[in-house]
Every structure is written in C-alpha cells, then in structure tokens.
Amino acid sequence: MYRSIAEVPYDQRSIVTVGTFDGVHRGHRAIIDRMHAVARSRHARTVVVTFEPHPRLVLQRSTQQPIGLLTTLAEKYALLQLLGVDVLVVIPFTFEFSQTPAEEFVRSVLVEKIGLMHIVIGYDHSFGKDRQGNQALLEKLGAELGFSVESVPPVYLDSGEPISSTKIRGALQRGDLATANAMLGYTYSVEGIVVQGDGRGRRLGYPTANIELLDPHKLLPGSGVYCVSAPIDGRIVQG
C-alpha cells in the first residue's frame, strides 16, 4: 500500500480503477474481476487508487449527518489483498485536493505517475472538481494520451435491487443484515477494543462486552439485538 503518489513505482502497463471502494462490495468486485481479466491478457499490473479519509467526511456540510463507513482503510486493504490487487494507492483527500480538475488528475497522476494503460470504471463513475470527470472525458483523453477505457455495468441482487455502498448503509441502519451481507458478499463486521461498561448486563445475569470502535466513523447497524461471533485469543466466541 502506497500512501503517496510520489512513492508509487511507475509502470506503463497499469490497469487502473479509481474510487472510494467503501465496503469492497460485489459491485466493486465486478470491476476488479474485469481488471484482472484485462491485466492477464496484457501482462499488466492492477492498480486501485482510493482516498483517505472518505471524501464525504471532508466535503460534507456541518449540518449533514456524518457518513458511516462500511470499511476502515485497514479493512479495505485486507479485502483488496484477498482479491489479488497488485497495487493500492491511497491519496490523502483534502479540500485542496478536491479542487483538482478531472483532466489534470488523469494527466498528472494516472498517466504521468502511475502509467495508465487501461482504466476500468463503474457505470456511474465521476471524479475531479465538481465531479466533471466521467467516461466521456476519459475516452477523449484516452484517444489523446494512449490509454483505453471501459465501464462495468451494475450488479444486482436476485430481487433486482442494484448493489451500492449507499444501499448497504441503508440496510445496516435498518438492521437488515441479510440484505447488507448479500450485497457485500461477506458478513459485515466491526472491530474494536473491549472497554469497561456500567455493568448492567452482569447485574441482570447477562454479561456483555462493550466495544470501543477503532474508527469512530465505522457504521454500526441499527439498534437491536444481534447474534454475533468474535475471534478472541485464537477461538471463535458466539454471542
């Protein structure tokens, strides 16, 4: 994982995608699967470019409710490793960076620093200042700079509902873990440190573990009682 564009080794055979990839859900996996297919045919590497913190944490108004994250950076990195991504580039996201025009980002970062050969994007992808970058701009720049572009269609549940990070957050907030997990393609989890509570559960005969999240922006499911499992000291504990 590279935390700065300056650290990334240049390789002109780079198959690239760009996005927040919050959740690394089944829609994201379709993009990565396509990247791998192209990389194999062109003997190239796969590169995921993402941002930290999540852009909405930087750009949202103070009156807006903070976004809940499906994955911390560490979780995102682990999931992308499992999917076999060769290179993860994490760009520090600031307000100043958000003012970068889309064309400048493509030229100065993707082409000049990384070595863009082919870019794979989601069907509704946009980027750059005022989200002016899109497939049409990429195709225009690709014709000039020598890279190719393709978009991946949406992925749907069997019910016909399209998969997205926004819909997964909504399902979690409703306590609908079944839908959230179906969209993610894995079981949603949270990670934290056990801390001292008020001891109410113990007094009632139902001792509980109070968890302090490692990332305060991590999204918790809606209020309710859930069946859980937790790895503790090398064993799985049910709760």
More confident residue, 41 or 207: 41
How confident is the model at residue 236, as a pLDDT? 92
pLDDT category, 208, cuts 50, 70, 90? confident
How confident is the model at residue 200, as a pLDDT? 72
How confident is the model at residue 233, as a pLDDT? 86
How confident is the model at residue 239, as a pLDDT? 79
How confident is the model at residue 112, as a pLDDT? 98
pLDDT category, 25, cuts 50, 70, 90? very high
Q: Is pLDDT of 204 > 90?
A: no
Please name the residue that has the structure tokens 């179906």: 182
pLDDT in tens, 98-127: 999 999 999 999 999 999 999 999 999 999
Full set of structural domains in the chain with CATH: 5-152 (3.40.50.620), 175-238 (no CATH)
More confident residue, 107 or 233: 107
pLDDT category, 225, cuts 50, 70, 90? confident
pLDDT in tens, 151-199: 999 999 999 999 999 999 999 999 999 999 999 999 999 998 888 877 7
